[in-house]
């Protein structure tokens, strides 16, 4: 059995699900895309090729091996994009929660059945149908659970709105001892630079009490200010609109001191090293074209 344990984003990682780019299928049509950035690359003819994405994910797998992290991979489904394992389920404490995702991604969930089945039955949670949630919006942070959401009346029309208020309430009920803090995110179906697809596209806590943040990702300024106060201005790396677009906040922590980051994030990686972090640089720019990066393609199962 898998003894799940996830209390935050930065404790030493022991086991993780890493997505796969194998058999990720042909370039989608514009109307098949889930986000504005993928649309841009389909139109421009620069949509990522499977062999490039496979190499990028193997570079991450090699880092996990170096740090002695047990890696689970989804079963490969023919012609199916299975890169973003964070979207399909997530772990808080000892529970795995199945994400209620876009309906045509159901088969991705079945591809991690070999992981799901190793968890005690009472710790496998499927939320009610009315609750929409994806793992990129959910961040356990010790006594808190931070959740990105969107409660606009146009929610049903916004394909980039992935987590609703019903899910926020359901997660609070599942973890009554935690403080659930939700943040309204800026959404756009058409402009990738004005779209925070998930909370981890504009914010991520990292080790040593620090955080990466992008102000414009938040619809409500006081919610952004709450995070600035919570972490302290001196502990925050504020990214630009262009850096958000390149997914600078979507790095991934192996521990309090070790972070996997994209090798072209020069300004961020320099800052991280100045603050004493070990930065494991990998190429991930092709995968980033689908509006997801390192946190999106990993689902931690066990941290110390």
pLDDT digits (tens, 9 = 90+) for 52-97: 999 999 999 999 999 999 999 999 999 988 999 998 999 999 999 9
Residue 236 forms part of a structural domain: yes
Q: What is the pLDDT of residues 183-208, one digit of tens each?
A: 999 987 777 778 888 999 999 999 99
Q: What is the pLDDT of residues 96-129, one digit of tens each?
A: 999 876 666 778 888 999 999 999 999 999 998 8
pLDDT at 101: 67
E strand spans, the chain: 13-18, 70-72, 89-92, 95-98, 124-126, 138-141, 144-149, 179-184, 203-206, 210-213, 236-238, 252-253, 258-262, 278-282, 298-303
Residues ≥6 apart with Cβ < 8 Å to 57: 18, 19, 20, 21, 83, 287, 297
Contact 293, 64 (CB under 8 A): no
Pairing of strands 298-303, 138-141: unpaired
Q: What is the pLDDT of residues 168-177, one digit of tens each?
A: 999 999 999 9
Q: What is the pLDDT of residues 135-155, one digit of tens each?
A: 999 999 999 999 999 887 877
Residue 48 has pLDDT above 80, yes or no: yes
State CA 4 to chain mean position distance. Answer: 18
Residue 8 forms part of a structural domain: no
Residue 166 has pLDDT above 80, yes or no: yes
Contact 188, 194 (CB under 8 A): yes
State CA 172 to chain mean position distance. Answer: 20
High-pLDDT (> 90) share of the chain, %? 74
Verdict on whether the full-model pTM lies above 0.85: yes
Count: domains in the chain? 1
Pairing of strands 124-126, 95-98: parallel
If you average pLDDT over every residue of the chain, what do you get? 93
Residue 6 forms part of a structural domain: no
Its domain, for residue 230, covers: 13-303
State CA 77 to chain mean position distance. Answer: 21
pLDDT at 104: 67
Give the CATH number of the domain where residue 206 resides: 3.75.10.10
How many Å apart are CA 280 and CA 135, to the nearest integer?
23
pLDDT at 85: 93
How many Å apart are CA 136 and CA 146, to the nearest integer?
11
How many Å apart are CA 81 and CA 105, to the nearest integer?
9
pLDDT at 223: 97
Which one, of 84, 50, 82, lies nearest residue 292 by Cα? 84
Average pLDDT of span 256-264? 98
High-pLDDT (> 70) share of the chain, %? 98
DSSP 86-107: GGTEEEEBTEEEE----GGGHH
How many Å apart are CA 209 and CA 15, to the nearest integer?
23
> Which H/E stretch holds residue 50?
helix 50-66
């Amino acid at each position: 059995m898998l003894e799940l344990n996830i209390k935050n984003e930065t404790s030493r990682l022991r086991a993780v699900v890493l997505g796969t780019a194998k058999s990720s299928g042909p370039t989608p049509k514009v109307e098949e895309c889930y986000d504005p950035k993928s649309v841009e690359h389909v139109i421009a003819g620069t949509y990522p090729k499977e062999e490039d994405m496979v190499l990028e994910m193997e570079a991450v797998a090699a880092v996990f091996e170096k740090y002695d992290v047990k890696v689970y991979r989804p079963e490969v489904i023919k012609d199916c994009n299975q890169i973003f394992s964070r979207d399909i389920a997530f772990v808080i404490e000892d529970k795995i929660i199945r994400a209620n995702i876009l309906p045509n991604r159901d088969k991705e969930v079945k591809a991690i059945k070999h992981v799901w089945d190793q968890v005690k039955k009472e710790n496998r949670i499927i939320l009610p149908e009315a609750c929409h949630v994806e793992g990129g919006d959910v961040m356990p942070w010790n006594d808190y659970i931070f959740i990105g959401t969107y409660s606009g009346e146009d929610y049903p029309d916004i394909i980039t709105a992935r987590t609703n208020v019903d899910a926020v309430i359901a997660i609070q009920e599942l973890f009554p001892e935690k403080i659930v803090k939700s943040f309204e995110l800026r959404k756009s179906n058409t402009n990738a630079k004005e779209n925070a697809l998930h909370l981890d596209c504009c914010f991520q806590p990292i080790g040593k009490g620090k955080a990466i943040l992008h102000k414009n990702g938040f619809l409500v300024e006081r919610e952004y200010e709450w995070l600035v106060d919570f972490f302290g201005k001196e502990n925050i790396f504020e990214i630009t609109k262009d850096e958000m677009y390149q997914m600078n906040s979507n790095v991934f922590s192996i521990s309090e001191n070790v972070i996997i980051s994209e090798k072209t994030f020069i300004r961020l990686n320099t800052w991280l090293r100045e603050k004493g972090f070990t930065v494991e640089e990998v190429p991930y720019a092709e995968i980033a074209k689908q509006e997801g990066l390192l946190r999106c393609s990993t689902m931690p199962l066990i941290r110390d």
